[in-house]
Structure 1
């Protein structure tokens, strides 16, 4: 047919619309194999705050201990409910044995005390006299208890201390809650840069060897800084850095060693998120960063999902059935309609969560995924932790509805 004829008849030849690209299917995250592998020595659970990293860490530690490994879980969460769920009155800066009846291995737990950890570093790497000077210094007391990044750095320090011994088959780390999950990776170098930074060196130059005679320009600068910071604070900083001067190299060396420890074979990162846009966006950033730093990523745990009890009835059909039940006027119709509407709401929520998980997988098809249903309440004992551990480590296809554990709803048929 000629172009003129096509124009006359009003018909145009159109290219067929290309089919929509298939949704990427997530790879299964086999955490049981990970934590029982003797070559796995460190598991780092990371992610945004409030996504369940602490409970995930404890549940994995419990599963590993019941599988026969000697495990210590290092948590940063000061909430007492974790200690209570482990059957302990409280947790502190030293590992405490957790009584797990029937376990083939051992479970120990500890909660990071960042000031005590910093104090231990000072005592271990300086003379008693210099350590006393540092510990009593007001600037140090502020730095060791509230300086931004100190908690993340001390978590890394404690990890290095635990790994230096051969007492533990497996160390599981619950990273600190922070505005950005990337802070944990940045902490060692950031602390090292601060303590050995140009500004700190400049502020304390007159007290350091080789700077006994300060220039007129520096003295002018020092007076300005003294007015801004306060003379006493400047003197505290100067005394602190002078006392800590011999330890600068140690901070750099330990920061480098701990960072490299995270890249070695035997270390795995598990990113934890909830099925919410912000949490998954943070998880995506962390996955990209781990990839850029060539650090080993095990996969993503999507925590607190809401899978329905059955996937045979869609939300639309459930709403329709609820209307029909009410219109029938039969005995128990209101109860049946209420149950159907609850199911419809659950299906709608699960569909939304699956859509968000699919978006993450489309962006990161190489990342394995494990979904964990939300608990009915807070985890407050070993039985609750064990339920979560089963969800984390159970076979991918072993679920009541038959939906693989890497998904919330079954994949659409093509």
Structure 2
């Protein structure tokens, strides 16, 4: 395999100019663990770090010794290694973040009306793209607060990990859509002219929808969208500011992948998409790489030796160990080929590898070990 450019994790974490690290990658590759390990290592090196997970899985809380995480950063470890570093962690609560925005940008009465609106309750819980947009909002809130030296974001699995890059445009399309404009037009027109406009431009559609959905649903929907200009006007502006923040030199994207075909293909997709969006890519972490303690003994030689022992009925245990070694070497060879494909396509991307652990990471000791492996390349 061509020797790749080495990803220097400690240099990224130690650089005071690095304020945001975004971990992205396919599901099941150890992205959440990697984000937590980076946060712990940064704290051990004297930084005040917060890890924000958008992944609905609760592995982050468990690995940090917490019973649960919520929408507020929780202190995990204080004065780490005696150097003043701190580690905080939180899990994005999509609906709570949406509610906080309403409460912050509306008077109490209007906020009460919106929060109790059935359409808003559905939108804030399940509307496509809401999670990614709220992740942008929360990231922006954390950065504007300036309480942490370093913010590490653990994104959702698979390609949705990059959907938050599209959040401003998606929200803009929603707010500027013809259907929304029709619904808000009567309220903007005011008085009887509003009803004339509704009858002229929206009467047939409203009548059909009223029969289909019911008058109350249409009323709830109109009540909700009438507040869009007053309350949600700053959504796009804040999302675009966060988007620009992600493009700034103080941000580093770390793509996490397992040395498997699908995961490495996803890694290639992420690298190419980040380049298109002019996002600062730090490099690739290849996680759970299998190695052999006896690499000089090839798979072919160990398989032949095992077969010879089995044919003579001798040293059954030794033959079994040789068979295990054969499988391990074959697995390592497959992983080697997948990494080679990636490096051939992206020779300039810095890479670090983390060897497979014998057991799952479930506490700070395990996270600390992962951090050491990440930086040992």
Please state which band the TM-score falls in when normalised by the shorter chain. Answer: over 0.9
Can you list the C-alpha shifts for 1:116-159, whole angstroms capped at 9, x where unaligned?
11111111111111111111111111111111111111111111
Q: Unmatched 5+ residue regions in structure 2?
A: none
User: How far is the alpha carbon of 1:217 from its aligned partner?
Assistant: 4.5
* TM-score normalised to structure 1 length: 0.85
Q: Does 1:373 align with 2:351?
A: no
Structure 1 CA distance for aligned equivalents of residues 219 and 338 of structure 2: 53
CA contact (8 A) 2:94 2:124 kept: yes
Q: Give 1:40-51 correspondences, 5 Å limit.
A: 40-51=18-29
CA contact (8 A) 2:4 2:347 kept: yes
Structure 2 CA distance for aligned equivalents of residues 178 and 150 of structure 1: 17
Structure 2 CA distance for aligned equivalents of residues 35 and 144 of structure 1: 34
CA contact (8 A) 2:37 2:371 kept: yes
Q: 1:376 to 1:227 in 2, by over 3 A?
A: farther
Q: Unmatched 5+ residue regions in structure 1?
A: 1-22, 397-414
Q: 1:264 to 1:229 in 2, by over 3 A?
A: farther
How well do the aligned residues superpose, as a CA RMSD in angstroms? Answer: 1.9
Aligned counterpart for 1:86 among listed residues 56, 64, 80: 64
Which residue in the other structure is 1:38 paired with?
A: 16
Which residue in the other structure is 1:127 paired with?
A: 107
Q: 1:196 to 1:123 in 2, by over 3 A?
A: farther
Which residue in the other structure is 1:171 paired with?
A: 151
Specify the structure having the higher radius of gyration (Cα).
1
Which residue in the other structure is 2:34 paired with?
A: 56
Q: Does 1:297 align with 2:276?
A: no
Worse overlay, 179-188 or 275-284: 179-188
Structure 1 CA distance for aligned equivalents of residues 189 and 253 of structure 2: 44
Q: Secondary structure at the match of 2:343?
A: helix
Q: 1:230 to 1:347 in 2, by over 3 A?
A: farther
Q: 1:103 to 1:92 in 2, by over 3 A?
A: farther
Q: 1:181 to 1:94 in 2, by over 3 A?
A: closer
CA contact (8 A) 2:159 2:266 kept: no
Structure 2 CA distance for aligned equivalents of residues 200 and 248 of structure 1: 13
Structure 2 CA distance for aligned equivalents of residues 264 and 229 of structure 1: 46
CA contact (8 A) 2:54 2:91 kept: yes
More helix by share: 2
Which residue in the other structure is 1:142 paired with?
A: 122
* TM-score normalised to structure 2 length: 0.93
User: How far is the alpha carbon of 1:228 from its aligned partner?
Assistant: 4.8
